[in-house]
Amino acid sequence: MTAAGICGSDVGIYHGTNAAATYPRIIGHEMVGVVAETGASVQKLKVGDRVIVNQVTSCGHCYPCSKGRGNVCDHLKVRGVHIDGGYREFIAVPEADCYILPDSISDRDAVMIEPTTIAIQSCTRAELEKDDMLLIYGSGALGSSILKIASQICDHIIVADIQDDKLETAKANGAEHTINVLNEDLVEKVKRIHPYAWSNRIHRCCLQQGFTDPPFKCHRKRRKGHHHGIFNCSHRDQSVCHNSQGA
């Protein structure tokens, strides 16, 4: 292994506050490495290939797996959480769990691929469009990743957080407005920024200590179907979209 990220959930596993983790555990679920050896049945990978390793392992036999949804496998195990992860010299994984990296992405940058996929997935599920008003509630690792992806799509992004330095970074990265919820009334400010925001998309992510749940519900109907929903991308919920169809 050549690099592994430190995720918010790793901090929880280290401190014994992550309910999902079992112990003893080698953490690390954003993993980058170089192939050192291949088994007899390996077909495409070769020694020296730089790869990222899928954190999710699935059984391949249950109903979700039969529908190609190994990410919600009945027997799902996450490397670094339920089974050992990437904070070690060597790891043995199936070939199918490895993705070859282009030379243009460094090992350290490649660690961010996993959170970036969460950001892309949450923007896709939110069916984000150019004229939407998006509120990102929390600007930690995932919130700022979502900002980077969302700013490629959407022109009107508000970022709320409790730390001014994070809000300054958010502005530099494409947030049109920022709100420090410790000093400003979130609801009032959003209403001032966009009087129709309540009928638009509310996107919440990465709640951290000091945040309460946002004092509103998303009032927007999804484009497909008629489900209201807050898109909660806090790490605890792994991008689970509450109250929506096809979660």
Say if residues 199 and 170 touch (Cβ distance below 8 Å): no
Number of residues that bind Zn ion (CB under 5 A): 6
Q: Which is nearer to Zn ion, 74 or 155 (CB)?
A: 74
The yes or no reply on residue 62 touching Zn ion (CB under 5 A) is: yes
CA nearest neighbour of 145 among 178, 105, 111, 177 = 111
Provide the mask over 147-186, with x wherever binding to Zn ion is found by CB under 5 A and - wherever it is not.
----------------------------------------
Is residue 79 within 8 Å of residue 55, measured between CB atoms? yes
| Contact assessment for residue 125 and residue 231, using Cβ atoms and an 8 Å cutoff | yes
Indicate the residue among 53 and 181 with the shorter CB distance to Zn ion.
53
Nearer to Zn ion, 66 or 199 (CB): 66
In sequence order, the 6+-apart residues with CB closer than 8 A to the CB of 32 are 1, 2, 3, 4, 50, 51, 52, 53, 86, 101, 107, 110, 111
Task: Give the shortest CB-4-to-Zn ion separation in angstroms.
Answer: 11
Q: Would you count residue 202 as binding Zn ion (CB under 5 A)?
A: no
Of residues 36, 59, 96, 100, which one binds Zn ion by CB under 5 A?
59
Q: Which amino acid is at 29?
A: H
Decide the pairing of beta strands 203-204 and 231-232.
parallel
7 makes contact with Zn ion (CB under 5 A): yes
Nearer to Zn ion, 33 or 177 (CB): 33
Which one of residues 58, 178, 232, 239 is an interface residue with Zn ion (CB under 5 A)? 58
Chain residues in the site for Zn ion (CB under 5 A): 7, 58-59, 62, 65, 73
